[in-house]
Structure 1
Amino acid sequence: MHLIAGGSMRLRDRLLSLCGAIVIGAGMASASLAATAAVRSGDTLQLGETVYRLDGIDAPEVDQLCIDDHADPWSCGVEAREQLTRLIAGRAVRCDDLGPDKPLKSRRLGLCTVDGDKLSLNQQMARAGYAVSADPAVKYRAKDDIAAAKEALRGIWKGCFVAPGEFRTDKKDGSLLGASCRSDRDREIRDVLFPDAPSAPPGCSIKGKFAVRARVTGNIGIYHLQGCPSYPATTEPDRWFCSEDDARASGFRRAFNCRVPKK
């Protein structure tokens, strides 16, 4: 009888200890299991059902254009996405979950690392020159790595571009960044960076249009899905998005004539 009681007490103590550890860990950053990643953009990837934005950096949007070091238009947003894909190279990825992403609460901030690598993907993208610093950062402060990439003229820093945040808000008079910017070609450069009829990047079919009426709902624009009555009529979109999450994170809402897609 005493042996049974003693065993029950030890079992209860173990369970209480385990529950305490779970409660303590609930408020801390959690690491996901290693999984195959689907790259969404130069700073966003998906592991299973969870979408992570890489903490501390802001990469060009997939539909964003830059100017390269030869003064030619360059799909730097597509290149940033491909750079992240190359860094992962089909290997498993783990992400420390740092909490919800402010622009889109359904998306998470992450410090993500490929199995076998010492440096995080966040740091590798910053060092490769495919991002600017995103403040406030939760864990990874990218400024030093980005400053080094800028000095070495890596990635987008060898050309001319506007910060991704200014591209998202259509700030055509924003600061020009990069070694190839020329004050005597300011107008021509901005015409390239903000084209009147941008081309759709590969895999991106959602049309976005800046609209004053969208401000009623706290947005800056409206997006149109294929199959929506407004889709064919939106002949000159201002933005192209690869997913509804991307559109919402950029401050766009779905057109009211678009029905919710059936799952």
Structure 2
Amino acid sequence: MIVIAGGTMRLRDRLLSLCGAIVIGAGMTGAALAASATVRSGDTIQLGDIVYRLDGIDAPEVDQLCIDDRADPWSCGVEAREQLGKLIGGRSVRCDDLGPDKPLKTRKIGLCTIDGDKVSLNQQVARAGYAVSADPGTKYRAKDDVTAAREALRGLWKGCFVAPAEFRTDKKDGALLGSACRADRDREIRAVLFPDAPSAPPGCTIKGKFAVRARVTGNIGIYHLQGCPSYPATTEPDRWFCSEDDARAAGFRRAFNCRAAKK
């Protein structure tokens, strides 16, 4: 249920405001209502029925692992999600709708601000060091803030990780980022960042497998839901997803034997 900042609105005014926020034509942008946010990942929030990916940044996937400054495995995707929740701190969030997100057009790109803050939530995440730049951003250019976080060894930059985009595509030979990366431990580091049998993050039960046959439909893998015939047989998933939207945004399609399954 949407929590409107500033108190309860009259029904007629609320409906008009909702229509103005949601109905957006091609090439147009608009401002969403301020609402309580549900944090989906380190760069994705949901306001009411609308999901926004924060413009200009790319945070670790929830199931992504990094290495911390003590050279230990670190659930950086879960940490990024928790840090975004802490930044919001239960306050209302307002997002400028910058249009549909290309990987998943049912999701929006947003420039979001916490009620009472002057700096956007996008910029706060970048400054805290929990995202890389996703250039070109639609409105927010994160490069300078990401560079400052890297130089100050904040967040992800104090450890070792791969860019979220390379993790999503299983690019195991991609560049290693962060101050804790060691050339003499390259093989061991990559084994941690791309484990053969990753553990499921809290609240994420959808199994994903990279599959060549999925490319026929323009995808990179297949996901399996609980209750589907293929779910028990998928004993070593490559990815874990918290929702079907997350799986589709990552380039995975639903297993054919799951078509009749509940979401």
Give TM-score scaled by structure 1 length.
0.89
Residue 81 (1) aligns with residue 81 (2):
yes
Where does 1:128-139 land on structure 2 (aligned, <5 Å)?
Answer: 128-139=128-139
Contact 2:169 2:220 (8 Å CA) reproduced = yes
Instruction: Tell me how far apart the structure 2 counterparts of residues 115 and 29 of structure 1 sit (CA, whole Å).
Output: 20
RMSD over aligned Cα atoms: 1.5
Q: Is the 8 A contact 2:227 2:261 kept in 1?
A: no
Q: How does 1:3-82 map to 2 (within 5 A)?
A: 28-82=28-82
Task: Give the length in aligned residue pairs.
Answer: 241
TM-superposed CA distance for 1:258, in Å, is 0.2
Q: Provide the rounded CA distance (Å) in 2 between the counterparts of 1:29 and 1:229.
A: 42
Q: CA deviation at 1:200?
A: 0.2
Larger Rg: 1
Change (3 A) 1:261 1:37: farther
Deviations along 1:194-240, one digit per CA (max 9) or x if unpaired, are 00000000000000000000000000000000000000000000000
The yes-or-no answer on 1:94 pairing with 2:103 is no
CA shift digits 1:163-218 (9 cap, x unpaired):
00000000000000000000000000000000000000000000000000000000
Q: Could you report, residue by residue, the CA deviation over 1:125-180 in whole angstroms, capped at 9, with x for unpaired residues? A: 00000000002210000000000000000000000000000000000000000000
CA distance in 2: counterparts of 1:262 and 1:135, whole angstroms: 36
Percent identity, aligned pairs only? Answer: 84
Match of 2:8 in 1: none
Deviations 1:21-62 (A, max 9, x none): x9xx96542111111111000000101111000000000000
How far 1:262 sits from its partner (Å)?
A: 4.9
Q: Distance in 1 between matches of 2:115 and 2:261?
A: 36
Name the structure 2 match of 1:175.
Answer: 175
| Amino acid in the other structure paired with 1:77 | G
Partner SS state of residue 71, structure 2 = coil
Is 1:212–2:202 an aligned residue pair? Answer: no
Report what 1:12 is aligned to.
none
**Structure-to-structure mapping, 1:191-230, within 5 angstroms:** 191-230=191-230
Cα distance in 2 between the residues matched to 1:151 and 1:260: 50
In 2, distance between residues paired with 1:189 and 1:230?
A: 31
- What is the distance in 2 between the residues matched to 1:259 and 1:56? 34
The secondary structure found in structure 2 opposite 1:99 is: strand
Q: Kindly report which structure 2 residues correspond to 1:114-263, keeping only aligned pairs within 5 A, or say none.
A: 114-262=114-262
1:15 maps to none
Matched to 1:240, the amino acid is W
Letter aligned with residue 204 of structure 1: C
Residues in 2 aligned to 1:207 and 1:180: alpha-carbon distance in whole angstroms = 30
Structure 2: how far apart are the matches of 1:87 and 1:29?
A: 25
Partner of 1:14: none
Q: Distance in 2 between matches of 1:261 and 1:153?
A: 45
How many angstroms apart in 2 are the aligned matches of 1:158 and 1:170?
A: 23
State the distance in 1 between where 2:141 and 2:200 align: 32
Match of 2:111 in 1: 111
